[in-house]
Amino acid sequence: MSRSAPGGVRAWQVGVVLTTILTIVMNVLANVLPIGGRDTGQISDMFPTTVTPAGYVFSIWLVIYVGLVGYAIWQALPARRDHDRAAAIALPVMVANVANALWIVAWHNLWIGTALLLMLVLLGALCTLYVRLRARGPAPDRGERLWAWGTFSVYLGWITVATVANVSIYFVDLGWGGDPLPASAWGALTLVVATALGVRMLRWQRDAAYALVLVWAFIGIVVAQTSLWLVAGTAVLGVLVLAYVAAATPRKPGYTGAT
């Protein structure tokens, strides 16, 4: 990963830039063409689940894409060519970018099982880079905290939510209604799991950005699923739990990296 491209730029820096461009282009084409004759929202409407949030929630993708572009530029600067953490996460960033682009193709062609597998690849890549990014080492500067830590905390938080949604959609596509439990019970259970992950991230890394993404999604679920009292109530409870843990968890006195 240390090989240099023309001009002294590292090959991994170029790879991150190119795969980020691929991701952005594919997501633009998904809605401009659109791929498969359907935009992303229309496909979500085809597979309603008990944990599908209100449509406005998906605007978080704009924040993620701005962050990805910002990170691609930040890591491509000459000063970052010997940046250990940027180099360490370059491969999982590229894998995540390619998985994102391929997920768009699968999703828009209604290859739901393939889309789920690609979502799991994306989730795995983000988990890998998250751990590497927060490994022990020199304290991150403001640029790294914003473009690397901030971007990938939000991205991982949203893909956690999206993975839950994709699993639910996969079972809807199979025609499984959730027997022997009602669909709302399964929806509530997934929200409990997501809340537990948020609590873990707050206690482990004091990662408010990750938890805020879950809160954003939970509020959207309450808005969209008001008729399902069990799901909406569990989402409200999740918001309250995350807010309490965030307030009760003391901030680290200084940077220590992952533990």
In a domain, 95, yes or no: yes
Residue 221 lies in a domain: no
The stretch 81-98 carries a mean pLDDT of 96
Kindly report, residue by residue over 23-48, the tens digit of the pLDDT: 999 999 998 888 888 877 788 788 88
Amino acid of residue 234: T
Q: What is the pTM of this model?
A: 0.91
Asked whether residue 240 is assigned to any structural domain, the reply reads no
Does residue 57 form part of some domain? yes
Q: Residue 46's CB: how many other CB atoms inside 10 A?
A: 13
120 in a domain, yes or no? yes
Q: Residue 234 falls within a domain, yes or no?
A: no
Mean local confidence (pLDDT), 94-102: 98
Secondary structure letter of residue 77 according to DSSP: S
Whole-number Å distance between alpha carbons of 174 and 167: 11
| Domain assignment of residue 68, given as a range | 6-178
Q: What angle do CA 113, 201, 190 make, to 5 degrees?
A: 40
Q: Does residue 237 belong to any structural domain of this protein? A: no
Confidence of residue 252 (pLDDT cuts 50, 70, 90): low
Q: pLDDT tens, 210-242?
A: 999 999 999 999 999 999 999 999 999 999 999
Q: Hey, what are 91's tokens?
A: 């491969």
* Number of domains the chain contains: 1
